[in-house]
Amino acid sequence: MDRREAMLRELNLYPLWVQRHAPELTPSVEAAVAQEPPAALPSPDVQHDAGNASVSGDAAPRLEAEVEDLFVAEPHGDSSEDSLREFQLKIAGGPLADVAWTELGLKVRDCELCALCAGCTQTVFGVGDEQADWLFVGEAPGEDEDASGEPFVGQAGRLLDNMLRAISIKRGDNVYIANVIKCRPEQDRHPHVGEIAACLPYLKRQIALIQPKLIVALGKTAASALLDTDATIATLRGSVHDYNGTPLIVTYHPAYLLRSPMEKAKAWQDLRLAVATLQKK
C-alpha cells in the first residue's frame, strides 16, 4: 500500500473516492466543484464542534440548524446591539491595528471581555507558520486544547493532521491553525454571539499579520464569523468565497466528520478545491 492510499484509507475515502472519478488538482475551480452539488446533511451535536469533541452516535437535526443557537443565544451580559458594538470597539477601534504577534498574544492571554476567560485553563492563541500560505480556522478549544494551549490536538486534531497530509501539507510548515474563540466554552458548547464579537478582532488581526493566500473555514461557526453570514454549510461549501481579498473555502469541522465519516468525501472535495484555488494564486 503506497503512502497516498494509506492516507485516503485513514480518511475513509479509499476506494470510495476513486470510484467517484474526482477531478485532478489542476483543472479550473469550476471543474473542481462540478462533481457533486451541495446537499443538506445531518448536523453535528450542539456540544461537539470544539477541537476535542467526542464521537457520538446520537441522532442529530439537519445541517440547516447546525448552529442555530449561535444566532439566538444570549451573549454574556447585555445582549443589545450597543453592547456588542462596545465589545468590538474595546479592542478593534484602532489599538489592534499596529499590534505585532507578541503583544497580540499577551492581549489574548489577558483578555476579560467575556465570561469564557474565567472558566478556561489557558487561552489557545494559535500555532504554526506566521507567514503561512494556508490558514485553517476552527471554532473553539476543547478539553485537550485547553490543557495544552494548542488548537486541534484531540481526536479532531488528529483527523485534521491526516487531512493536511492528504493534500501534501502539514501543521507548522506553511500552515497556521487558529480558532475564532480563544478560550474553551464550558462543556464544549457553541460560543454565544457576544463571545464571538469579543474574540473575532483577535482572529482578524492574526489574519492581517499572516496575510495567508488561502483561508479554510472549518465548520459553521468559523464560516459564519469570517463571512458574516448565517448561511448553511451545505450552501457555503463548494464555492470560493472572499475574505477581504483572500479566497476562503468552507468545509466541515473535523469533529463533525468524526461523527459522520461518510461525509469525509465531501470534505476531500473541498480540500481539492482549496488546492486548485491556491494553484491559481
All structural domains of the chain: 3-41+67-279 (3.40.470.10)
pLDDT at residue 79 tops 50: no
| The predicted structure's pLDDT at residue 202 | 96
pLDDT at residue 70 tops 90: no
| The predicted structure's pLDDT at residue 88 | 44
| The predicted structure's pLDDT at residue 97 | 81
| The predicted structure's pLDDT at residue 11 | 67
Q: Name the band, by pLDDT with cuts 50, 70 and 90, for residue 12.
A: low
Report, as an integer, the average pLDDT of 222-243. 96
pLDDT at residue 51 tops 90: no
Q: Name the band, by pLDDT with cuts 50, 70 and 90, for residue 266.
A: very high
Across the beta sheet with 214-218, the strand order is 127-128, 175-179, 134-138, 214-218, 246-251, 240-243
The DSSP string of the chain is --HHHHHHHHTT-TTHHHHTTPPPSSS-HHHHTTTS-----BPPPTT--STTPPP------BGGGTTHHHHHSPPSS--SHHHHHHHHHHHHTTGGGG--HHHHHHHHHT--SSTHHHH-SS----EE-TT-SEEEEES---HHHHHHSSSS-SHHHHHHHHHHHHTT-BTTBSEEEEES-SSPPGGGPPPPHHHHHHHHHHHHHHHHHH--SEEEEESHHHHHHHHT----HHHHTTSEEEETTEEEEEE--HHHHHH-GGGHHHHHHHHHHHHHHHHT-
Report, as an integer, the average pLDDT of 245-251. 97
Instruction: State pLDDT tens for residues 133-147.
Output: 999 999 999 999 999
| The predicted structure's pLDDT at residue 8 | 61
User: Which residue did the predictor score with more confidence, 97 or 106?
Assistant: 106
What mean pLDDT is reported for the chain?
78
Lowest mean pLDDT among 71-80, 155-164, 178-187, 213-222: 71-80
Q: Name the band, by pLDDT with cuts 50, 70 and 90, for residue 281.
A: confident
Burial of residue 12, with CB atoms counted within 10 A of its CB: 0-12 exposed, 13-18 middle, 19 or more buried: middle
pLDDT at residue 36 tops 50: no
